Amino acid sequence: MKTFMRTIMTLAVLLISLENSFAAWPGEAWPYEAWPDDAWPDDAWPEKTTTTVSGSVNGHEYVDLGLSVKWATCNVGAELPSDNGNHYFWGETAPQAKEWRKCQTVGMELDDIGGTSRDIARVKWGKPWRMPTEGEIRELLDLCKWCWTKVNGHKGYIVTGPNGNSIFLPSVVYESQQDCEEGGGSIWSSTPYKNEENNSAYELCFIRPLCASVPYVYSFDDLKGLGFESTYFGPSLSVSYRRRDIALCVRPVVDL
């Protein structure tokens, strides 16, 4: 009982600390901004746009976010930044629906697949395009500002780099599960998660923010001070690993 009570008290102190720390920082100093669903009627959502395209390779545009690589403006299979594009099992090059199916790479011991024949970005877009590594998707969380908003009527996150340029990551719309529409999404990295089963790989996962009555922001630095890992933004954004036989989007990167 004493252990249980100490746990409850610790959680209460943590929540109070978070609330106080969130209120103490000016919004322009924080790396995360959210526009929750109940704060804006559908016809009043603050439409935002990405910044000017930095260039193109093989007919596909990219944005320089001030990070170690340049990020494509669209997912593989998408015509616009606000489109989902296609969904792929990790290490496969044929588009898939959300239903679970047998994945060729489950059980296979593989190194990073970036730039190989299993890299859908390289296969579809050509050299030097490739899937991002685990470290490169972590840069989006560690070094960028995230804002939940709408682009072309589609909800998702504007991700703004240290140099002020931005890309848009649209929320997921699966044909087979419309109840999942616009609740969040994931993009694959090229990095496998090493375990005995060899059944997972790293992903960037983003879900819509928790509901609030007004747009809100909170401090990544404060969360680190409270013991959270460097790429965990509360409940909304994370780098984690997922089974390879779940079909996710792919956002290519390029080294220039």
What's the sign of the alpha-carbon dihedral 186, 133, 129, 108? negative
* Range in 27-31, 34-38, 69-73, 242-246 with the lowest mean pLDDT: 27-31
- Residue 124, both tokens: 């579809």
| The predicted structure's pLDDT at residue 237 | 83
pLDDT tens figures, 14-60: 444 444 433 333 334 334 444 444 444 444 445 555 567 999 999 99
In the Cβ-directed half-sphere of 188, how many Cα atoms lie within 13 Å? Answer: 34
Kindly give the pairing relationship between strand 145-151 and strand 32-34: parallel
Q: Model's pTM, two decimal places?
A: 0.75
CB 202 within 8 A of CB 240: yes
Torsion angle, alpha carbons of 234, 70, 114, 187, to 10: 30
Q: Interior CA angle at 177 toward 103 and 151, to 5°?
A: 105
Short-list 255, 256, 252, CA closest to 130? 252
Where do runs of H (alpha helix) occur along 25-163? 120-125, 134-143
**pLDDT band at residue 224, thresholds of 50, 70 and 90?**
very low
Rounded CA-CA distance 193/201 in Å is 4
- Residue 223, both tokens: 């969360």
- Residue 110, both tokens: 């593989």
CB 89 within 8 A of CB 199: no
Stretch 227-235: mean pLDDT: 39
165 alpha carbon, distance to own chain's centre: 17
More confident residue, 141 or 212: 141
Tokens 């994370």, residue located: 238
pLDDT tens figures, 93-148: 999 875 566 888 999 999 999 999 999 999 999 999 999 999 999 999 889 888 87
Q: Where are the domains of the chain?
A: 26-254
| The predicted structure's pLDDT at residue 54 | 95
| The predicted structure's pLDDT at residue 136 | 98
